[in-house]
Amino acid sequence: MAEFFGGIISGSLALLSDAVHNLSDVGAIVLSFLAHLISQRNRNKNKTFGYQRAETLAAFTNGVILIVISLVLFVEAIQRFWEPEHIKGGIMLIVSIIGLLANFISMFAMHHDAKKNLNVRSTFVHMMSDALSSVAVVIGAIFIYFWNVTWLDPVLTILVSLFVLHEAYEITMKAANVLMESNPDIDLEKVNQIALSFPEVKNIHHVHVWRYSDDYIMLDAHLNVDKDLTAGQFEDLCQKIGKKLKDELGVNHINLQAECERGRNDQMIVERGHEN
């Protein structure tokens, strides 16, 4: 609220942009916290995988919001070059210092868990962007107050917007890849080598590998084995393959289906419409 009123009174777009970032932080924190609470719920007949992807949805939403805010501020800053406004540097400087202190405290509070959780990271990036924005605003306020360099206001806004846009894009794409069940950089050729390293396996096909959440990578595949292999022997084989996949590739949920002749000559990835 201080930055909103300070930005309006001083006429500083950079200060207003910092206020908008802070406002988005409030929504980001609330959304992330609610998503974290939801993710802790147990599996049930409606959500057999559980609710862990609630945090991924929150990260995706926060990323999209950041992208929109960054683009809006970028356009507003460009317009300021053609329609400059008088800026009261003294008010801008005082309020920007207050915002800087608050943003750094918030950013460091979230730093510890930002590397472990995509949802927390999206919130951390919100706060980091605000801290950087506040640094830029303080620098701009000093130059405007002492030397009346008003063109720094839109320039700093553009620079912060571009940085936030880059960070928001990475978070959004990472969350989108999880939601689209993309391959989380698992080497399929290595999967093939591990499976075929067991003499009982003749071929592996219909492979699907995806990241369900930050710490949950899943793999589903069909294995061609000898028809005289018993159920007990196949179960033992699956446990061995699963342990190797987990130890070497980090895959921690594996489902393997036994087949004899069907799909014996199929590739690992089967085109849509050709699946059995």
Structural domain boundaries enclosing 63: 1-180
Q: Does 25 fall in a domain?
A: yes
Same-domain check for residues 135 and 209: no
Same-domain check for residues 166 and 210: no
Same-domain check for residues 149 and 63: yes
Q: What is the pTM of this model?
A: 0.76
Same-domain check for residues 51 and 144: yes
The total number of structural domains in the chain stands at 2
**What are phi and psi for residue 234, nearest 5 degrees?**
-65, -40
Q: Based on C-alpha coordinates, what's the Rg of the chain?
A: 26
Three-state DSSP state, 252: coil
What does DSSP say about strands 253-259 and 216-225: parallel, antiparallel, or unpaired? parallel
Same-domain check for residues 134 and 244: no
Q: For 32-72, what is each residue's pLDDT tens digit?
A: 889 889 988 999 999 988 898 898 998 899 889 888 888 98
**C-alpha to C-alpha distance for 182 and 206, rounded to whole angstroms:** 15
Q: Does 88 fall in a domain?
A: yes
Here the CATH number for the domain that contains residue 73 is: 1.20.1510.10
Same-domain check for residues 119 and 156: yes
Same-domain check for residues 120 and 248: no
Same-domain check for residues 126 and 63: yes
Q: Return the DSSP state at 133.
A: H
Q: For 196-241, what is each residue's pLDDT tens digit?
A: 999 999 999 999 999 988 778 999 999 999 999 999 999 999 999 9
Distance in angstroms between the alpha carbons of the first and the last residue of the chain: 60
- 153 and 16 in contact (C-beta within 8 Å)? no
Same-domain check for residues 73 and 168: yes
